Structure 1
Amino acid sequence: MAFLRSVLHMAFMFCTVIPYALLIVVASACGTRGDTLYVWAARWLRLSIEAARVIMGIRYQIQGQENLPDGETSPAILLVKHQSTYETFLMPAIMPHPLAYVFKKELLYVPFFGWAIGKLDMIHIDRSQRAKAFAKVVEQGQALLAKGVWVIMFPEGTRIPRGQRGQYKSGGTRLAVATGAPVIPIAITSAKCWPRRAFIKHPGVVDVSIGKPIPSVGREADELMREVEQWIEAEMHRLDPEAYATKP
């Protein structure tokens, strides 16, 4: 049954991403504003999350939403635990501000999905050009944060199996220190239902925990990232104790 439900959800996403992506690409060519394009993209992501609930029985619950900054242009950099594709869809669906992902440019070549995100106000980088890539992140990040767009990054860089910890990289906290924006750490147990690189998903509840903003002014990026890592990993142990039962 889980296999069939996963097939149905995949078919649903494939059939719906094509018209939404084409709409965004064509509308962009016609001069439609970036914030309008983002609304359409976020609508498809919400639709996919709702389809995951209806078709596969995957629900989510949020703790700490009151920790998100108030204000139309209040800046924030979200640093999120990365276990599966689910959180990349969920974050724009639940956040009160538009988000800008920092992602590798190779994703732009993915048919339909990549074409669409290439038209949004996101930050795509060439990882082979580290200094230039980070300079681009800071330049675009400052402009986006000033408009009330929050920057979102996965500090582990890739999806990590349930119960494991990846290597936390300081790119997100370096951006925070450079812009003065606070960091919001977020823990999420998506792998309980949507395992890393797995086609078959399982019904259940994904817990999302949003931490309190951590000021970046006057901080060192590496020290700030250690604080973020400690909070996220401790929260992961609290939210999903079964996954860490045999680990220190």
Structure 2
Amino acid sequence: MKAIVCVKQVPDTSGKVAVNPDGTLNRASMATIINPDDKNAVEAALKLKDATGCKVVVITMGPPPAQGMLRELMAMGADEGILVSAREFGGSDTFATSQILAAAIKKYGVDADDVVFCGRQAIDGDTAQVGSQIAEKLDIPQISYAADVKIEGTTVTVKRALEDGYMTIETQTPCLLTCIKELNEPRYMSIKGIMGCYDKPIAVYDYNTLKDDPLIDPTTIGLKGSPTNIFKSFTPPQKGQGKMLEGADKATCDELVAELQKKHII
């Protein structure tokens, strides 16, 4: 049994966001973090490892420096890493990305009792599409928005979060689950994990590694092969400094009205 986790290195949106002329993010000039929902997916896989002793494999698509993120996840407890990296893959939208990741997962191998974990969505795109598209291209069942997961043998039972409640769904492995932050609390790296993470293997899958898979079609991967067209990307202007009014008396209300009138809001 294996737990395969798709993770993404995303820009730290609390800092500066840089955009290229073609509308894509200039990731090289921005600080990066592990996508928060993906850390919940990694924790779900590590809990499965704690319970069953299964292997945890983390896989990401990105530039060579993304290996550092994989090492961090190995320090948390993951056993292996796969970096999917090639110029031909650059600029891929969700459709193209899911094709490439699905091809990489097939290359590594999906057995009858394996589970693929993904985060609900990435904070840079907020589409929540890649996980479900990977499942479709792997031809395996998928359950999204997992708030609780129980795995017994080849049976997977998930409490799925909805807008107005929950629903319980049961499926069989192999399957794909997308995880939300309410599922768990990601663990920290351990000292032992940090010391040993560089002894764990990372495989690099480039274009030549995956090109024979039917999903790797040059016309449907990368920026040129992506069906999504970006109309405009920009950094939102910074908001002005707010002003707090203390008190709940008539004088405070008069001050508030005066401020709103000054700004021509009323």
TM over 0.5: no
**Which entry has the higher C-alpha Rg, 1 or 2?**
2
What is the TM-score with the length of structure 2 in the denominator?
Answer: 0.32
Higher strand share: 2
Higher helix share: 1
